[in-house]
């Protein structure tokens, strides 16, 4: 008897079907994205489908891999009517895994992305679950769901961002060396921070003083901000032109941000927040209420499936300064503390595990040398999404045989495994998102 149409692709119930299939994923063309072939997003998007053509002047900002309604992935299958991943999971919730189903009410709990950043993203933070519910109830037009949004960025190219408050000693250094910064904050708030820092036993007072300084800056008038920023930019520009050292005020970054967002209060945020540069494979984790901004580069990103962002600078979008200033943790720490270190997986010599302190997502980075002929993708008790970034591979036993290249994206149901034959010309680089409860 002939196999029912679509049986091997997991569309119908059947004990022996493989619930593993290719996805066609959405690209977001936000203005801050890298343009044309400069974008890693564009490269992966076009490489995954030879019929796609990259437009040289178009921004390719984000590749979305998941079920978010603003970019639900399509299942690639010529045998049946095209269906989104979200609808397929709704019809096959067992594909999520028993623990994921129970904890996340039959929903895929993460959104997997690739980002290519040309212009700075906004000074922002993401609410915890309690605040997300409150904001969604009060302002659903700005906060479209009631979920939290922890996220992790893993660099594909050198990647620069702002993350968390600097040590107080560094902020005090800028208050001393950058008079425009001090003028914007105000003498009273600046002196309060200096006094609190003089007594190491007054940690609570120090955090309150830090919150006051940051709030004073963020709530300053547009006129006052533009005036002080113009003073600073003019002075730094003159120093650069005369060959002076402007590292004392992070002058190169200041001028770059001002060129992108003239007069924006976010330009001064570099004196409060750590500037973190990730090399390929390095990561930073951004928990709830952690101030941050992506500045430039390409990364893989994974997050809880939410679209809640509280913004307060470096953006033309809606800003909510009061909420941001109230919600932040105000925990100073050095830039090195913001790096998230992966751990080797004992069960897989080719894999590194990026496992943040939330149940919503985990990312596994897989690097297989070209001298290795096969790689076994192990089964997990979680649905997962696998992205091939570099190299080529194939699977003869998967849906009649598949050829995978950069940009190929696979959905792998819980408790499913597959074996990839590695093409010998290039090393294989893959990222796998899942939820390891």
Angle (nearest 5°) at CA 433 between 135 and 276:
70
Residues 6 or more apart from 280 whose CB is under 8 A from it? 155, 156, 157, 158
**CA separation for the pair 57, 246 (Å, rounded):** 33
Listing DSSP states for 364-411 in one string gives EEEEE-TT--EEEE---SS-EEEEEEES-EEETTSTT-EEE-TT-EEE
- Give catalytic residue positions: 311
Tokens 């990026």 belong to: 354
DSSP 45-77: HHHT-TT----TTSEE-EEEES--TTSPPEE--
d(CA 429, CA 248) in angstroms, rounded, equals 39
Q: How does DSSP classify residue 293?
A: E
In DSSP terms, 163 is beta-bridged to 292
Three-class SS state of 162: strand
CB contact set of 79 (below 8 Å; sequence gap of 6+): 5, 6, 9, 11
Supply the angle between the helices 168-177 and 187-197 in degrees, to the nearest 10. Answer: 140
Do 359 and 252 meet the contact criterion of CB atoms below 8 Å apart?
A: no
């Amino acid at each position: 008897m002939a196999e029912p149409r679509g049986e091997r692709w997991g569309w119908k119930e059947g004990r022996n079907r493989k619930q593993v299939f290719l996805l066609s994923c959405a690209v977001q063309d936000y203005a801050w994205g890298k343009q044309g072939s400069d974008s890693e997003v564009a490269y992966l998007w076009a490489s995954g489908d030879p019929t796609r053509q990259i437009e040289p002047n178009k921004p390719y900002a984000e590749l979305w891999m998941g079920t978010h309604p603003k970019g639900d992935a399509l299942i690639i299958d010529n045998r049946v009517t095209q269906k989104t991943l979200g609808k397929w999971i709704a019809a096959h919730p067992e594909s999520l895994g028993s623990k994921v189903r129970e904890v996340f009410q039959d929903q895929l709990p993460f959104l997997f992305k690739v980002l290519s950043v040309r212009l700075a993203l906004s000074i922002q933070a993401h609410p915890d679950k309690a605040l997300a519910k409150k904001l969604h109830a009060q302002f659903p037009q700005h906060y479209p769901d009631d979920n939290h949004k922890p996220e992790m960025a893993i660099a594909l190219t050198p990647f620069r961002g702002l993350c968390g408050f600097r040590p107080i000693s560094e902020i005090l250094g800028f208050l001393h060396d950058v008079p425009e910064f001090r003028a914007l904050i105000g003498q009273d708030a600046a002196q309060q921070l200096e006094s609190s820092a003089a007594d190491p036993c007054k940690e609570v007072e120090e955090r309150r003083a830090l919150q006051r300084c940051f709030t004073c800056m963020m709530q300053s008038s547009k006129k006052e901000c533009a005036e002080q920023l113009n003073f600073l930019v003019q002075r730094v520009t003159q120093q650069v032109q005369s060959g002076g050292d402007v590292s004392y005020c992070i002058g190169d970054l200041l001028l770059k941000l001002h060129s992108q967002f003239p007069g924006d209060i976010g330009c001064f945020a570099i004196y409060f927040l750590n500037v973190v540069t990730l090399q390929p494979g390095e990561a930073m984790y951004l928990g709830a209420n952690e101030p941050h901004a992506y500045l430039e580069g390409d990364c893989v990103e994974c997050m809880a499936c939410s679209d809640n962002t509280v913004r307060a600078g470096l953006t033309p979008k809606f800003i909510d300064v009061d909420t941001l200033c109230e919600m932040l943790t105000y925990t100073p720490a050095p830039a090195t503390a913001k790096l998230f270190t992966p751990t080797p997986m004992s069960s897989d010599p080719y894999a590194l595990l990026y496992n943040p302190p939330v149940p919503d997502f985990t990312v596994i980075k897989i690097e297989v040398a070209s001298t290795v002929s096969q790689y076994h993708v192990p089964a997990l008790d979680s649905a997962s999404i696998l992205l091939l970034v570099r190299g080529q591979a194939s699977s003869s036993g998967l849906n009649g045989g598949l050829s995978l290249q950069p940009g190929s994206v696979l959905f792998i149901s819980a408790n499913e495994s597959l074996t990839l034959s590695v093409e010998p010309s290039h090393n294989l680089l893959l990222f796998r998102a899942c939820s390891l409860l």
